[in-house]
Structure 1
Amino acid sequence: MKRIYSTLKCLLVGGLLVASQGCEIDLELDDRYTELTIYQNPESIDLYMAGMYNEFHTFKFGQFPIGYDNATDGLTDIMKYTSSAEGNGSVNRLAFEPQRVSAASPNFNYWNSGYNRIRRLNELMYGINNYADGLTAEQKTLYEAEARFIRGYVYFWLVKLHGSVVLLPELTSEPNNPRASEEESWNFVLADFAFAAEHLPTKAEGGAAWRGRATKDAAYALMARAALYAGSIAEYDNKQFNNDPLTGVPAAKKNEYYQIAADAAGEVMKMGYSLPKDFTGMFTNPNNSEAIFSVDYQRPGVTHTYDSRFSPPVAAASNRAEGVPTAELVEEFEMANGEEFSWSNPAHAAAPYANRDPRFYGTVLYNGAVWQGRTLETFVGGNVGFVEYGTDANPSNTVTGYYVRKYLDPTNTTFAQNRSAQSWMVIRYAEVLLIYAEAQLKLGNLSEARNAINQVRGRADLPNTQAQTAADLMEAIEHERIVELAFEGHRYWDLRRWRKAHTVLNNLRVHGDKITKNAAGDLQYQRVDADKQDRRFLSQMYYIPLPQGEIANNRALTQIQGW
């Protein structure tokens, strides 16, 4: 902790470091009477604070920014959205036509709602410090730590979208506020998480009564994630894609951020988390040993629609799979013995879904998989069979030969009527280990990086990585982030922070494996184009434009150059 604070102290600019979910509640503070009433009653403060946690619902199951679950994964090489129609096909349209992003219509638009939440959190902290006479100093600090944890998460999203944002450390009535530099913005995020980590209880200390609220564990984990992003920008951006004087992070700062990431992840690694062998089951078990911070749901009042959007089609439910895994993702999963899968290998091609990395079976549904009592037939004419992309504007069936498995609830056969209630893990231990591995690699500690990678592989009983050089270890980390974290909303943002999106996603077409049966009943596999046109990523999209209306309302705000 001392080292993290020492590093942060060097990074922070003078004035910037200043002093769950469940209920769908967002209390407005309209006048002094209301403020006094709320802050003199601890139960009312708790109710208001519970409403602030609703912000995490904004990002559940990778929904941000387009309003579809796993939407950003659908912009990458691991998921294909099935619709080609306007509306349901918004993810595809944005993948094919990034020029749709503009200051008038940013598409990735979180600015207004994000700053509304920041204002509410700043009001909450102001009210606690000025009106809550019955609270002890320790209680006030605890509430501030919770509020800053949530504010840090909001700012994390704003900064990774725009780079340079307006920093509001406290409640203000000033309507005209300029953008801070990207370095200052990342430092602000880290300072909020550092404050939260210092003052919040651990998950173990909080116990059942604290379930769903911010903890020291979660604050360290999200600090590690944010610091890794900042370090990546410092290493990979180098002002190649934007001339705005406020975007980018000096390359000389990268090791400071990587050290914060490694130290924060290291704190979580001391807290007793472990990686369950049951990779499949843990995504519907809210009490698994890996979940660091989760958003919970409960029927009938607080639910979501994940199962209806990704389950293989069920006639009684009239659902359709909005997004499906790509053949490129399927090929990333190794054989159980650590061999790289290849269709050129006759043994692999004869039984392509047998003896794979166990995480494959918790991530993808394939031809022959058993799901809710049915053996899935993804071949042409099968019970959940193949439809070629573009031949049906809104198909019910897969366009790649695969369906999502991760996070689906195998017991939920009534999702059409009762929706879904499985928890969503905001951050889990495997990601912390991969953050630690990447940060240590960047700091030159290759053995530490290798050990962390092997812990993640060990949960799947895979052999240790054979990577020895820094370049090979980085490739191993990218591979593990794809297979371990698929459909958890990371791939698009990883490609952005590594500044690889313009090379990986430009001129990309994702594929499927079309399966047919011949007259003898033998299965035949054919690699097919599941896009029918090239995807594009404009390098200017590394920094999403600010909404034009916000610039009109804030005379001190300027647009990010390039837009």
Structure 2
Amino acid sequence: MNRYIYLFFICIGLSFSACNEDHLEVKSPDQLTGESFWRNESDAQAGLAAAYSQLECAIEYWSFAEIKFTVELFPSDLVKLGNDALNYEDWFSIFNFNSTAGNTQTSQYWNIHYRGINYANQVIEKVGAMTEEQISTDAKDKIVAEAKFLRAYYHLKLLLNWEKIILRDAYPKGLSSIDKAVSERSECWDFIIADFEAAASKLPESNTVENIGRATKYTALAYLGKANLFCASETTADAKPYYTAAKTAFASVVASGNYSLESSFISMFNGTNQNSDEVLFELQLSTNTDNGAWFKFPYHRWLKPAGLGGWDEIAGSDYLLQEFKKEGKAAIDGRFDHRLYETLFFEDEYFNDDANPRVYGYTFNSWWDWAGAPRNKTGFRKYLPESSEELSMNSIGNNIPLLRYADVLLMYAETLNELDETASAITHINTVRTRAGMPAMTGSSKTEVSNQIEHERVCELAMEGSRFHDLRRWGKLNATMADHGRTGVSDATHFFPIPESETNSNNAID
């Protein structure tokens, strides 16, 4: 679904009325409403596009990076703040684990995800009620399945960041239905899992070129596996059924043969290999500005280090660099883990080779010295564009992978290890390591495999928003953060507080 047409669909989505209280009704015969809009498959696809449009908070030019990355990356021990980030109190409070219910970034994150849920609910209900004269059964089933996938996805993202959330299984039809209490986490997990299951049963195994980027059966199955795996870690009773369900879902993705690891790790993040064979779900951005569309953002300026003329908002932590180097120069070519060089810029002979300057035509030291930036600053390379021309642009439209096959393999390995199928788990770990130029892992015990999975998830998924949630579900959050110099984490700050905007408008929440 072409990203550049979403702006129109957002406007359509925003025009749907969620209220039908008599005293609020103002009707015009020539104006589309929530009741008159859903006429045919074209309308159904438009409504679905509105639901997709809220993905990853990519709705506003300036706030995209400032919402997504501050909320998802700042709590992690893999980052440290740049000087400019210290100017923004709400950003700094997220990093320090003392954000309040009035925090602008977490409040916007909450609201955007619930807007996506509302759009998805409209599609599920309105398209589900269409007749065969309006839309074919196959088309209806697929569109409703995609909407259920998106509803589960948005709920999952919220549940990872808030201890309790509101399950919105229908869009509000009046002011009275806006008030709804939060649900227990177990109920939320069951709801999310059921939606992913329903989506997987009706979605196609692959998409045509014109529908690239939309969820498929295997996208839904991968997230179904993830939801079961994460839920298992919170289950106080028997977690085995969740691990078993996760194993089944991941096994289906692997057995499909649809996915493989790309030989070039960085190509998936610098815009040169978009929608690759490794990616199961990817945020579709675009430099196309036809008809006034604008789906390119300055996120590279936000991420790139000060030494490259960036805004100095974020850098790699000392721990991240140490973890990458932990195994030494054990790669097949005598270097460190290849993912290190493709994730970070750092002072190293690899980036200081005068004969092959790898920092946009410069060496690390020459550019950092020219910029007056400290050489000990580890800047993120991941997500930066390949060319210096793109790097200097005000905005770029490179896609952002949201779920990769490497992540699926590591979650699959973790699931197998928890089910005492440790030998099989090692096979998938080594598949990921091979792409990174690393030898097979050493060790064979369940504990050794668990430790190796943690290491691989750091090196493979840095900057992809998984670290904080991994530590919390493994029960390692407090101790690990303290070891890495991140204070302020306690049982009370594992999750963000429900925003004031929600508690002020929802009478069912104290």
Same fold, TM-score > 0.5, yes or no: yes
Query: Which of residues 469, 484, 487 is equivalent to 1:535?
Result: 487
The alignment status of 1:321 with 2:321, answered yes or no, reads no
- In the alignment, is the contact (CA less than 8 A) between 1:64 and 1:72 conserved in 2? no
Give 1:137-536 correspondences, 5 Å limit: 137-173=137-173, 174-203=177-206, 206-234=207-235, 251-272=236-257, 273-283=259-269, 284=271, 285-299=273-287, 300=289, 301-313=294-306, 319-334=310-325, 340-341=327-328, 355-367=335-347, 368=349, 369=351, 370-377=358-365, 382-387=369-374, 400-506=376-482, 508-509=484-485, 535-536=487-488
- Structure 1 counterpart of 2:127, which letter? I
Instruction: State the 1:258 CA deviation.
Output: 1.6
- Structure 2 counterpart of 1:292, which letter? L
- Structure 1 counterpart of 2:164, which letter? S
**Please, what is the CA RMSD of the aligned residues?**
2.9
1:488-543 superposed Cα distances (whole Å, 9 cap, x missing partner): 1111221222232222223743xxxxxxxxxxxxxxxxxxxxxxxx5321221224
C-alpha separation in 2, matches of 1:414 and 1:168: 40
Name the structure where helix makes up a greater proportion of residues: 2
Instruction: State the 1:115 CA deviation.
Output: 2.7
- Structure 2 counterpart of 1:258, which letter? Y
- In the alignment, is the contact (CA less than 8 A) between 1:70 and 1:488 conserved in 2? no
C-alpha separation in 2, matches of 1:35 and 1:93: 40
Q: Gaps spanning 5+ residues in structure 2: where?
A: 18-26, 352-357
Instruction: State the 1:331 CA deviation.
Output: 1.8
Q: Gaps spanning 5+ residues in structure 1: where?
A: 1-19, 235-250, 343-347, 388-397, 510-533, 559-563
Q: Name which of structure 1's ranges 42-51 and 285-294 shifts more when overlaid on structure 2.
A: 42-51
Instruction: State the 1:71 CA deviation.
Output: 5.3
Query: Which of residues 546, 559, 562 is equivalent to 2:498?
Result: 546
* Matching residue of 1:51: 50
C-alpha separation in 2, matches of 1:108 and 1:256: 33
**Structure 1 residues 49, 431: CA separation in 2 closer, same or farther (over 3 Å shift)?**
same
Instruction: State the 1:486 CA deviation.
Output: 0.8
C-alpha separation in 2, matches of 1:469 and 1:416: 49
- Equivalent position SS for 1:377: helix
- Structure 2 counterpart of 1:467, which letter? G
C-alpha separation in 2, matches of 1:64 and 1:258: 34
Instruction: State the 1:216 CA deviation.
Output: 0.8
The alignment status of 1:34 with 2:21, answered yes or no, reads no
- In the alignment, is the contact (CA less than 8 A) between 1:332 and 1:341 conserved in 2? no
C-alpha separation in 1, matches of 2:34 and 2:130: 7
Give the alignment's TM-score, normalised by structure 2.
0.83
C-alpha separation in 1, matches of 2:163 and 2:328: 38
Instruction: State the 1:188 CA deviation.
Output: 0.5
* Matching residue of 1:345: none
C-alpha separation in 2, matches of 1:72 and 1:35: 33
- Structure 1 counterpart of 2:464, which letter? E
How many residue pairs get matched? 466
Instruction: State the 1:276 CA deviation.
Output: 1.7
**Structure 1 residues 295, 86: CA separation in 2 closer, same or farther (over 3 Å shift)?**
same
- Equivalent position SS for 1:252: coil
Percentage identity across paired residues of the two chains:
26
1:369-401 superposed Cα distances (whole Å, 9 cap, x missing partner): 12111112179x7234544xxxxxxxxxx7x43
Give the alignment's TM-score, normalised by structure 1.
0.76
- In the alignment, is the contact (CA less than 8 A) between 1:64 and 1:71 conserved in 2? no
